[in-house]
Amino acid sequence: MTLQDLKQFVAAGESETVEFKKSTAQLPRAGETLCALLNGQGGRVFIGITAEGRLIGQQVSDSTLREVANTLGRFEPPALISQERVALPDGAEVLVLSAPAVAASGPFTYDGRPYQRVGSTTSTMSQTRYEALLLERAHGRSRWENAPATGVAVKHLDREEILRTVRLGIEAGRLPESTGGNTGDILDRLSLRENGQILNAAVILFGKELVPGYPQRQLRLARFRGIDKSEFLDNRQPQGNVFGLLDDAMTFLHRHLPLSGRFEPGRLERIDELLFPTAALREALVNGLCHRDYAIWGGAVSVAIFDDRVEIWSDGTLPFGIRPEDLKRAHASKPRNPLITNVFYRRGLIEQWGRGTNRIVELTVQAGHPAPEFEETAGSVVVRFRPKGRTITAPLTGAVTEQVTEQVTEQVTEQVTEQVARLLAVVQNQALNGSEIMQRLRLAHRPSFVYGYVQPAIRSGLLEMTIPTKPRSRLQKYRLTEKGRAWLVANKKG
């Protein structure tokens, strides 16, 4: 640092990252401030400058340097504080002690006490804050997601899902085209394998359905009658990897939320819209799946639909230092599960870290609804959607009201949604891929096609996949089941 640089610091005055000390007689207080800077944004302590900003300097002897070294040895954990000496015209010197921004390696203590910086003031850190930082440090180094998955090998993971992640990552420009197709190499690149050992995060992301010992791989879905949980209309608990669970949740929402279709001038494709924006609901589910506490044995992400609201619950508290009110404004990204979150980002399911909740608010408000509510309660984080000026009802055409008899020759009177009926009429006696069906239905939005048409038809037993063991295969086609053909015959006049 030059004398000119020093004068610029003096002119700017003390701040959250700068403090002046008159001499080394104030070294104990300088140590407290350096500790606070280590626990914050980093910064500098200048010794030889008065509080008013006068450059006075001091004589720096071997004894002075030993005092400084003794002071810097009182940090726990040990901290790398750099030292500089800036000569003044009269021969005196200013000592500059610089603390790096290494809060993630802390919290630091000086003489056994933690300190923090608030504005230009140094104060003792509260016990609660200190313990929270200790937990955060432990979490950064040792988490459930980066622990070895005992007894799990590459064969227990879904190779198709892993390769799909690579394909989507390359398309999104978030994985290099040279990634390749070797499953082990892909896991290493995504930091999901360490020294040949599969990590827990890989099981959550890509585990096949029957991986034992992972009850966290589940979803709770419920449609209640009224505004409380006294009576179920529908209740499901699917299990699987997070991408399958995301599809299951979106299918459930499409099944139970009102869906309307419209055509825009100049466009041939039909646009189907849910009561709440599909992108906002999907973002809330992705947030829940990325940030939930997977260490909670048997925990889950839950979707609850009531007559007056939709709630998405995620087991676990908010990340360290984040409050519910922060989620509606710009806030730091502190993913609880950075390995899992990174794979969601690579696949294009997360656009920008730390923006997800803001996007949920923006999309919902643009659709004419009140801003979603964020709450932390009973060890869970809740996102609550409320519709504007109406209640939530099932799609007007209803769900299945009568079961088709196993004898396909008997009359079939089962009622299906308008979307499923259109799908069955298009497929008829053919096996078609998704793009062909969308073209014939004049649909442009693939998520609406999957969640509003295909998956309800499959769940009702009216449609089936030609490759059921690989539901996301690029060669996948769809055809009617016997039940579907029977329904089509029974309802051909419509």
The mean pLDDT of 116-131, rounded to a whole number, is 88
Percent of the chain topping pLDDT 70: 88
pLDDT of amino acid 409 = 34
Phi, psi dihedrals of residue 402, rounded to the nearest 5°: -140, 140
Residue 405: DSSP 8-state: P
CB 6 within 8 A of CB 47: no
User: How far is the first Cα of the chain from the last one, in angstroms, to the nearest whole number?
Assistant: 84
Residue 4: DSSP 8-state: H
Q: Would 425 be classed as within a structural domain?
A: yes
Report the greatest alpha carbon distance in the chain: 108
Cα–Cα distance for residue pair 121/403, rounded to 1 Å: 72
Q: What pLDDT digit, counting tens, does each position of 344-383 carry?
A: 999 988 876 667 788 999 999 998 899 999 999 888 999 9
* Both tokens assigned to 69: 């070294």
The mean pLDDT of 147-158, rounded to a whole number, is 91
Predicted confidence (pLDDT) at residue 401 exceeds the cutoff of 50: no
CA atoms within 13 A on the CB side of 484: 27
User: Which residues, at least 6 apart from 157, have a Cβ–Cβ distance to it below 8 Å?
Assistant: 183, 187, 198, 202, 203, 206, 207, 208
Q: Domain check: are 263 and 364 in the same one?
A: yes
Predicted confidence (pLDDT) at residue 413 exceeds the cutoff of 50: no
pLDDT of amino acid 268 = 58
pLDDT band for 156, please (50, 70, 90 cuts): very high
pLDDT band for 216, please (50, 70, 90 cuts): confident
Q: Would 146 be classed as within a structural domain?
A: no
Q: Domain check: are 375 and 237 in the same one?
A: yes
pLDDT band for 269, please (50, 70, 90 cuts): low
Choice between 469 and 156, residue whose per-residue pLDDT is larger: 156
Q: Domain check: are 247 and 359 in the same one?
A: yes
Q: Which CATH number fits the domain that encloses residue 227?
A: 3.30.565.60
Q: Would 255 be classed as within a structural domain?
A: yes
Q: Domain check: are 381 and 332 in the same one?
A: yes
Predicted confidence (pLDDT) at residue 333 exceeds the cutoff of 80: no
Q: What pLDDT digit, counting tens, does each position of 16-71 carry?
A: 999 999 999 999 999 999 999 998 889 999 999 998 999 999 999 999 999 999 99
Q: Domain check: are 437 and 458 in the same one?
A: yes
Minimum mean pLDDT among 95-104, 207-216, 322-331: which range? 322-331
Q: Which CATH number fits the domain that encloses residue 131?
A: 3.30.950.30
pLDDT of amino acid 432 = 93
The mean pLDDT of 278-291, rounded to a whole number, is 93
pLDDT of amino acid 122 = 93
Q: Which domain holds residue 124?
A: 3-141
CB 74 within 8 A of CB 31: yes
Cα–Cα distance for residue pair 131/239, rounded to 1 Å: 36
Cα–Cα distance for residue pair 351/336, rounded to 1 Å: 17
Closest CA to 364 of 338, 389, 387, 380: 387
Predicted confidence (pLDDT) at residue 410 exceeds the cutoff of 60: no
User: Which residues, at least 6 apart from 38, have a Cβ–Cβ distance to it below 8 Å?
Assistant: 75, 79, 99, 100, 102, 103, 106, 108
Q: Domain check: are 15 and 87 in the same one?
A: yes
Q: Would 427 be classed as within a structural domain?
A: yes
pLDDT of amino acid 166 = 93
The mean pLDDT of 315-342, rounded to a whole number, is 79
* Both tokens assigned to 257: 């939320």
Q: 405: burial class by Cβ within 10 Å (0-12, 13-18, 19+)?
A: middle
Whole-number average pLDDT of the chain: 85
Q: Would 17 be classed as within a structural domain?
A: yes
pLDDT of amino acid 221 = 95
Percent of the chain topping pLDDT 90: 49
Q: Domain check: are 353 and 232 in the same one?
A: yes
**Number of structural domains in the chain:** 4
Predicted confidence (pLDDT) at residue 463 exceeds the cutoff of 60: yes
Closest CA to 139 of 97, 104, 178: 104
Predicted confidence (pLDDT) at residue 75 exceeds the cutoff of 70: yes
Q: Domain check: are 56 and 202 in the same one?
A: no
pLDDT of amino acid 411 = 37
Q: Which residues of 268-294 are buried (b: 16+ CB within 10 A; e: fewer)?
A: eebebbbbbbbbbbbbbbbbbbbbbbb
CB 487 within 8 A of CB 417: no
Q: Domain check: are 18 and 40 in the same one?
A: yes
pLDDT of amino acid 354 = 60
Q: Domain check: are 123 and 223 in the same one?
A: no
Phi, psi dihedrals of residue 232, rounded to the nearest 5°: -85, 140
Q: What's the Cα-to-Cα distance from 383 to each of 309, 312, 377, rounded to whole Å?
A: 10, 5, 11
Cα–Cα distance for residue pair 449/454, rounded to 1 Å: 6
Q: Would 413 be classed as within a structural domain?
A: no
CA 357 from chain center: how many Å?
9
* Both tokens assigned to 260: 């309307």
Q: Domain check: are 237 and 358 in the same one?
A: yes
Closest CA to 210 of 234, 231, 241: 241
Domain-terminating residue out of 141, 164, 187: 141
The mean pLDDT of 217-225, rounded to a whole number, is 93
Q: Domain check: are 345 and 437 in the same one?
A: no
Cα–Cα distance for residue pair 42/36, rounded to 1 Å: 8
Domain-terminating residue out of 360, 385, 410: 385
Q: Are strands 18-21 and 259-263 parallel, antiparallel or unpaired?
A: unpaired
The mean pLDDT of 69-80, rounded to a whole number, is 90
The mean pLDDT of 454-482, rounded to a whole number, is 86
Residue 404: DSSP 8-state: P
DSSP string, 366-385: HTTSPPPEEEEETTEEEEEE
Closest CA to 241 of 305, 178, 301: 301
Q: pTM value? A: 0.62
- Token match 């207080």: residue? 29
The mean pLDDT of 243-267, rounded to a whole number, is 79
Q: Would 340 be classed as within a structural domain?
A: yes
Q: How many other CB atoms sit within 10 Å of the CB of residue 304? A: 17
Domain-terminating residue out of 114, 141, 168: 141
Q: Would 404 be classed as within a structural domain?
A: no
